Structure formats: C-alpha cells, structure tokens
Amino acid sequence: MLNVRNLDDQTYEQIVEAAEGRLPWLCPQWTNHNASDPGITILELMAWYKELQQYHLNQFTDALRLKLLKLAGAVPRPASPARCGLEIGPDRAPKPRLERLYTREGIPFELEEAIPAERPAIARIDVVRGGQRTDVSELLRERRITVQPFGDGDGPSRLRIGFSRLGEGDLQLWLDVDEPQDPPRNPFEPDCPDPRTIRWICEGAEETELVRDDTHALSRSGCVCLRPVGGWPAGEEGLHWLSLTLEEPGCEEAVRLTGVSAGRYQALQQETWASAHLFRAERRGEFALTLDDAQARDCAPAVFVRTERQWEQTDGWRSERRPDGLALWVDATAAAQDGEDNVMVLCLDAIRATELLFDAKGLPGETFFLRLEGRRALTGRFSLLCNTLDRDGQVRPALWRCVDDFYCCGPRDRVFTYDADRETVTFGDGEHGALLQGGAGAVLAAELTVTFCAGGNIPGGQNLEFLDGAGAVLHAPAAGGAAPESPVEVQARLLRELDHTRKCVCAADYEELARRTPGLRVALAKAIPAWDPDDPTGVSRFPTVTVVAVPTGAGERPMPDERFLQAVQRQLDRVRPIGVMVKVCPPEYAAIDVSLTLRGGEEDLEEYLTRAFRDYLSGGRMGVGGTVAVGDLAALAQNAPGVLQVRSIALRTSSAGCFQNREGDIRLPRRGIPCLGRLTIERLAERLR
C-alpha cells in the first residue's frame, strides 16, 4: 500500500513563526520584527499564500481521480438515453425516423426506426403438436399468457404464425421471452453460438433468410428479422404462415414465450438538435439528395460544398419538404472531384438554430455556454463546425470532435471538451488542443443530440403521443436512461471488477471464468487440477486442468450438450496460461438408493423426504466428487415432521466409480454428482417408551 502524504501540514501561524525564526540568520540587520514593519507585512502575505497553496495541493480532486482511474483502465460511462418499444396498430399513419412523441409532462422521445405505410398484421398463432393444433393467439393481446411452443408434449411440436397482411421489405417480429433469473444468463458476445437451433420457414417461399436474430434463438426478448426469397404466397385460410421448428433443443431451459408482435418499433428519449450528413457528388453540376427523417423535414438546413481548398457554405441549393423527410438539389459545380465526401448538409433545429451558432474571440481556453436546460449531450453524437487555422495559414471551417480532456492532445488536434454539469464546451490553448479562430459565427453545432438520461425511464402504458392528434400510443416501460458515471461510481465499479479475475491462476479462477461463459447459464463448474479424464489411469502426463461443467436446465440431472461444452472450452482457452491444457467434460450422475427404518411421521412423510433428499443431493449442492454421508441424510429424516426416531439408514448405488466405506458413506468419482434413486421407507408401528 502507498502511504498517503499530508501536504497541508502547517498552519498560517506556524509558517509565520518559522519564517521569523530564520530572519536573524538570513538578515542580521533586520531587528524590527513587529507587525508594524512593512517587511513583516510582506512575510505574512507570503505565509498566507503558502498556506493556500498547501491546501490546494492536498486536495484529491475529481479530475485527478479520473486520471488515476483512467491509468487503471476504468473510463467513465457516458450518458445514455432511455429506450422503449411502441405498439403501433395497423390504423396508425406512417412516420419517418426521428419523429417525436411526448409524454404528458413534455418529455420527448424520437423514433429510432421509421414506421412504414404497409405493415404486417398477425391474424393467428398456433402450436402444432402431432396432428393437433392449439390456438395461442392470446400472445397478441396486452394481457398475455406464457406458452411453451416446443414443450414436453407427445412428439415434436412447432409454432406457426399466420399473417393476414405482409409489409414492405423484410419481415420484422418482436418476441417477448420469459427469461429465467436464477441464475441469470450471462451477456451474449458477438461470436457467441446460440443455445439452441431454431429453423424459421416462410411456408411457400423458396428460401427463408434469417437477417438478424437479437433473441439468440429465443433465449431473450428481442427482434427477429426475416427475408423470404422468391415470393411468399398465401396458404391455408388465406394467411401467410411462418413456421418455427426446434431442430436442436440444447441443454438449457425450454423456450417460454409471453408475447409476439409485428408492430413494435423502438423509440429513444432524446432530441436531435443538429445532425450532419455527408455526401459524395460524383460529377459537377446539380446534385440531388434526400434526407429521410423527421428532424431534416422540420430543420433549418445549412449546405456546404468542399472546393479544392476548403468547405464553403453555399446558397446554391433548393429544397422540398416531404412528409417523410427533405429533398435537396445542390449546385455542386465547384465541388472537388477527388473521390471523397464533398457535400455536407447540417440540419439545425428550427427553434434553436440561433442558439447553436456562436461568435468567438479566438482566446486560449475559450468557453461557450450551451442552453440545454437540464439535458445532457450524448458525446458520441456531438461535433462542432469551427473556423480553423490550416497549415497554409488560411482560416477554413472544419469539424471538431469532443474529447474527455486535453491531456493527450497536441497543438493541431481539433478537439473540445464538454462539461455536462456546467453545460459548457471548452477549446484548447494552442498547446493542448488547437486554438479556435475568432470571428462572427465561428462555431456552429454540426451534431448535437441531448437527453434527460434517467428522467426518461417512464413506466409502460399509454403515456406517449404523437403530435398528429391520433391519440396515445401503447408502449413498454422505458429503461436504460442513465447519467454519466461520476468519479466515485467509476471507482466503485473498478473495485467490483477487481474482485473478478480475467486470467486463470488457481482452480477457483477456472471455476469462476467457466461460470461466466458468455451466453450460457452455468449452474456448476468444478476444476480438477492434474487429472485427465481421457487417460485410463486418470493421471495427467501434461499440465492439465479438467473442468466439469453443468448447465442450468430443467430436470433433476441436467447434462450439457456438445455446443455447451465447446462454448466453455473456448472461454477457458482464451484465459488459460500458456503450457496448460484445459479439458471440459460433462458430469457423471450417481443414483443413490436410500433405505430408511423409522418410527412416527405424518401421512405425507414419503413425499416430504423425497423432496428433501432431492434438494440435498441434486443440483450440485454437494459439489462434484464429494462424499454422501449417511449421517447427513439421517439428520434430514430426523427433522421431518412427526418423526420420532430413525432406527436405521442404508445407502446403495450401482453407479460405476463409487466407493462405499464401512460406515456406509459413498464416495463419488472425480466428476460424479449424486442424485436420488429409489427411496424405501419402513415405518415401525410400536411407540417409544
């Protein structure tokens, strides 16, 4: 541990006293040390200044804390907007992207995706098992049910969704899945395999292409995007049928659906005040372009053309506002033809356009105030168009980006910082960060999106409404809105992360990292060093660590499948030391037969003891490769309601690799897990005396 030094270790009086004590040695001619002497007044002033410096040097500021945390690899998380799903009925008018909705309190939301004019409509949902069809169209209702489409019925089953109408382009479905939480599923990563294999078939189409599956084979709620190839004709009952078949069930929980929707669209709690759009005009002359979003439709546009030397604002354009966006025709005669973007359109909020333009003085560290009124800017979508001194001495407009601080910035880096609490932006001083050039309108917001952060986390219901007067929109709860992390929160997160290892050193590290395999629900992981299950003797000839992995699944004896074992294997291969071989293997279940002789007990004694013994033995609670003790099971039986005495108890097993000692305890094999086999209870009639 580093010792914390106290730099503020002298008071004002101690500093004055120490300075006056040195005067006879430094200046013997100075004999008047009273407060009336001008030299003493100057000395007291310097003592006050020294005390002030000591205080500031001794402060552990947030800026210093953030720099130290950054050295440790902990970077504050930026602000994030709340997100919710909107249920859009077939009678609703189409809406472009970034169309705004408002709550009764005036909190704005923007559509993340456009609502097309032609949208699919689901008429029926069936579960087909064997030759029997069950209507589960209640999944479409607001008050939903839970359905196991691939449940434990007689024979295989499939889910069929019938559409009375198809929409434009790809088919997009939202599926709500009841996700188990004990334990929760580890977050998925981009290269994670799905826990199961589901085949999506548009009946009658030549082929069905799975464009996107955010649910990871119905492991969580999300969106599925499908593309029928070669047309999708109507089938029975005049409906277009989509069929879901479970080809490989996997080894984890069964799929539990709680809702299906073809009219759900995502909205974000944000306001886009400025957006930049770059284009490439491949020839000189008039260049036509279209901006398909509501913000561009209602904006005050500013058009720039890049010539051979610089970006120049131009008035040579005309526009046409459309219900779904803005069409522009730009005179690109002077545009540079070098294969790069040469036309830029800035879309400024028409109400706040004057607030997004600033006059600069060109001073080092110049600061501007943003009138955000309690909102936070999303730094990932924040840039400014500023007057910039180029290498040839000319001042030209250029895009500047937002950074956390100027510490690693050079004198030519076009950057600025954003203070969310003070709602200000600050530019560099010419040494750390380029110097802003002065002039009227020298700074213009090119991209700026703001949010209320956690203020957008609203409950579900009908709290959102478009401005078209068509009424409220049904929506799910909005979640995910969060303010930027404070230095204290970053420090607490770093301490939590330090409690989790990222490399394997001891057996506990292998077990922890196996349980954290992305995309899986791992109930149990046991690391066994220096043991090789593939060697007949069990002794590893090379440095080997065997990990027994057990999934969280339904049933008393969950067994991992091959894809589960391969996922854990890939996880451990990334974090194992060089020169150590890791082998992931399934468990071996040992059925333990229990014979009891006892007195007393209530009528449901057998049911109670069966449940108690299963809870004690199954699920890996005893661990892997442990010992089943007779005394522990006898204590469980003695605690049963009404049991007066346990006269005898005996354990038996026919599983290979088990060993039973004289006391009757059963020692399991290295990767063995006990489970309850047959339970025999003999109840004596005579009473105790």
Whole-number Å distance between alpha carbons of 30 and 28: 5
Q: For residue 391, is pLDDT > 60?
A: yes
- The answer to whether residues 331 and 418 belong to one domain is yes
Q: For residue 142, is pLDDT > 80?
A: no
In the prediction, which pLDDT does 624 show? Answer: 87
Chosen domain end from 231, 262, 293 = 262
Select from 398, 283, 395, 390 the least CA-distant residue to 338: 283
- Eight-class DSSP state of 283: S
Number of folded domains that form the chain: 4
Average pLDDT over residues 384-410: 89
Angle at 522 between CA 516 and CA 524, to 5 degrees: 105
- pLDDT bin (cut points 50, 70, 90) of residue 284 is confident
Select from 532, 547, 554 the least CA-distant residue to 586: 547
Percent of the chain scored above 90 by pLDDT?
Answer: 61
- The answer to whether residues 142 and 239 belong to one domain is yes
Select from 351, 379, 376, 370 the least CA-distant residue to 455: 376
Q: For residue 232, is pLDDT > 50?
A: yes
- The answer to whether residues 208 and 177 belong to one domain is yes
- The answer to whether residues 673 and 552 belong to one domain is no
Chosen domain end from 551, 585, 619 = 585
Select from 577, 590, 610, 579 the least CA-distant residue to 680: 610
Whole-number Å distance between alpha carbons of 150 and 18: 85
Cross-sheet strand order for the sheet of 317-322: 286-291, 325-331, 317-322
- The answer to whether residues 577 and 594 belong to one domain is no
Average pLDDT over residues 478-485: 93
- The answer to whether residues 297 and 255 belong to one domain is no
Whole-number Å distance between alpha carbons of 143 and 175: 15
| Residues 653-684 pLDDT 10s | 988 889 999 899 999 999 999 989 999 999 88
- The answer to whether residues 602 and 581 belong to one domain is no
In the prediction, which pLDDT does 468 show? Answer: 85
- The answer to whether residues 576 and 608 belong to one domain is no
116: in domain? no
- The answer to whether residues 254 and 331 belong to one domain is no
Q: What are phi and psi of 472, to 5 degrees?
A: -70, 160
238: in domain? yes
Strand-strand pairing, 544-551 and 581-585:
parallel
Cross-sheet strand order for the sheet of 581-585: 522-529, 544-551, 581-585
Name the least confident of 151-165, 356-370, 560-574.
151-165
Select from 584, 587, 527, 596 the least CA-distant residue to 556: 587
Provide the terminal-to-terminal Cα distance of the chain, rounded to the nearest Å: 67
Q: For residue 289, is pLDDT > 70?
A: yes
In the prediction, which pLDDT does 1 show? Answer: 43
Determine the structural domain holding residue 149 and report its residue range: 121-262
234: in domain? yes
In the prediction, which pLDDT does 619 show? Answer: 53
Percent of the chain scored above 70 by pLDDT?
Answer: 97
Whole-number Å distance between alpha carbons of 163 and 194: 27
* Residue 384: strand pairing partners: 400, 445
Q: Please give the helix or strand (H or E) that residue 652 lies within, else none.
A: strand 643-652
CB of 415 closer than 8 Å to CB of 432: no
In the prediction, which pLDDT does 3 show? Answer: 67
- The answer to whether residues 392 and 306 belong to one domain is yes
In the prediction, which pLDDT does 688 show? Answer: 45
- Eight-class DSSP state of 115: B
User: How crowded is residue 537: how many other Cβ atoms within 10 Å of its Cβ?
Assistant: 7
Global pTM value: 0.82
273: in domain? no
Q: For residue 646, is pLDDT > 50?
A: yes
- The answer to whether residues 599 and 577 belong to one domain is no
- The answer to whether residues 237 and 144 belong to one domain is yes
17: in domain? no
In the prediction, which pLDDT does 617 show? Answer: 84
Q: Please give the helix or strand (H or E) that residue 55 lies within, else none.
A: helix 38-57
549: which residues sit within 8 A by CB, 6+ positions away?
Answer: 514, 522, 524, 525, 560, 564, 565, 568, 584, 585, 586
- pLDDT bin (cut points 50, 70, 90) of residue 181 is confident
| Residues 507-558 pLDDT 10s | 999 999 999 999 999 989 999 998 988 887 777 778 999 999 999 876 778 8
CB of 503 closer than 8 Å to CB of 573: no
| Largest Cα–Cα separation, the chain | 116
What is the length of the chain? 689
154: in domain? yes
Chosen domain end from 544, 566, 585 = 585
Average pLDDT over residues 563-575: 94
219: in domain? yes
The CATH code of the domain that includes 544 is: 3.30.300
- pLDDT bin (cut points 50, 70, 90) of residue 58 is confident
538: in domain? yes
- Residue identified by tokens 């607490």 is 492
Q: For residue 195, is pLDDT > 60?
A: yes
In the prediction, which pLDDT does 81 show? Answer: 96
Average pLDDT of the chain is: 90
Q: Is 185 exposed, middle or buried (0-12, 13-18, 19+ CB in 10 A)?
A: buried
